[in-house]
Structure 1
Amino acid sequence: MTAFIRPSLILRMDLDERLFNDECVSDIKRSYSYVSPSFVQAHKPVDGQRPENVMRFMIKLHRAYWDKSDEAAQQLWEGVMPKWLHNMFSKVSNTITAANNVRAENGEPAFPYHWLELEFDDNALIAVKTGSDSSFPADGVDMVERVRDLMNDGALGQDVTCVRIPSRASYEAQLAAAEQAQAEAAASAEQGETAGQQGAQAIDVAAAEGEAVVVADRVADAAEGERADVADRIADAAEPAEAAAVNAAEPTFAMPELPAFNVDYGTWGIEYADGTVREFDAAAGAFS
């Protein structure tokens, strides 16, 4: 019987409003039309935060499936959900890759999704951090199974509004460490390049200094009218450059490039209806 049952899926993309425009919405709907119906909305950035694009799976299965104590619900889950989730994760990950390949061919930057949210009707909301290429974790289905087990056992408490994997605090700490490592690597590379350049620069110092003396003598000997003419020509040349600088300074939003690193999913953030968040050690199966 379960072989003929399939959940329905709607994709909701929630984008930073600085990245939201009609062309972007059309591209997204066109890219994911073969996967499921989709719609796109925008949210305001909070306190100048980095852009955060979220893809939500709105999963509907019009019969009970979450309660493990219900034998029929448990059979339905085991017979349908793990395989369906695996297929959907794979299909959507492939679609993200294909869409970004097209963008690359058109000289455009990749469009990232930073979190995947899984909405299981009114039963649970799970938010999982995607990889640096917006891919879903290979063990994403296992994470969902674990959350379901823990919630059914009451191990996460009452009034849970979201299980975030990893917690925001954990992810921000990991990102900060990756950014620091990236900065240190860049500084080390720059120091090596600078050291290599110093030898070549030293060879040219004497010749450059001699040429500077000659130029200074010629300027001192120049007539006052000639120097004024030179000054006028320099000012005229500077005007278009200044205009270009003003145009270049016009505000445009560019997606910042975050360092690529392997996310540690070990610490979860259990978010509750009253706004509190508790850190949960997934390996230990207990709150930190």
Structure 2
Amino acid sequence: MSDKHDVVRAIENSDIHSITKYFKTNSTFTHDELEAFVKTACLSGSYQVFSCLIAQQPFQLFLNGQRDTTNVLYRLMNAATQGGNVDIMTTFSRLSGIKWQDVHEDQLSEHLTPLLIASIRGDTDAMQFLVDEGVDPNNGTTRDGNAPIAMAAAHGFTDAVEILLDAGASVDLRNNNGESAQDLALLYNYEDIVQLFYQASNHRALEQVDGETIKTTISKLRQAKNYTNYAVRERENIDFNRVQNKISKLKARIHGCIDHQ
């Protein structure tokens, strides 16, 4: 008769033979023990171990029994994310029937989501998988109120920040101390990430540009009384540079060239 410690050891050591043997000789593991075994397999990152484990009859019954109480499955799917094996993540979602955008754990002031976990680890493979699965790039907060993009920025994970920005993550979110993700990148001197945030801000400004409105504004500036309705001698003494500069900047915005100054 094997105990749970033997099984955990076999999982951690990727000992497929022992795992199979233990479940042939003992099928009376408790619910909590079965959950611990699956969690250990998820964290191991070994798809071979995971697939061997869930092929055993007790686990098939265990997983089927969790469909109406999703909290256990949410915990295990977060563990699969932490393990970082996308094949395990894919299989777990298929077996459970749960969509990744629904997975979360609420612990005290934490709202723990798979994307938050992957962002903390800088696991770009898992992050891209989750984004492709349609998760909300802003969903998830640490106990300090940091969203996924803030955690990626604070840890200096440039590629992770880029994935989140491309997925539409907000640069305006702030943690409990009032700090944005860009503030954290500046604090820890991650220059590449700071540059990404500047680029994202400029891109957002361009998206908000209404070309027709700007053209109308230019037309009004050109027709303004303080620009045209002066006698010739009076006009010679007027500096029109400010008006011309404003027109030039408005034109530049239409063409997507914003003056950063």
TM-score (norm 1): 0.20
More helix by share: 2
Larger relative contact order, structure 1 or 2 (CA cutoff 8 Å, min sep 6): 1
TM-score (norm 2): 0.21
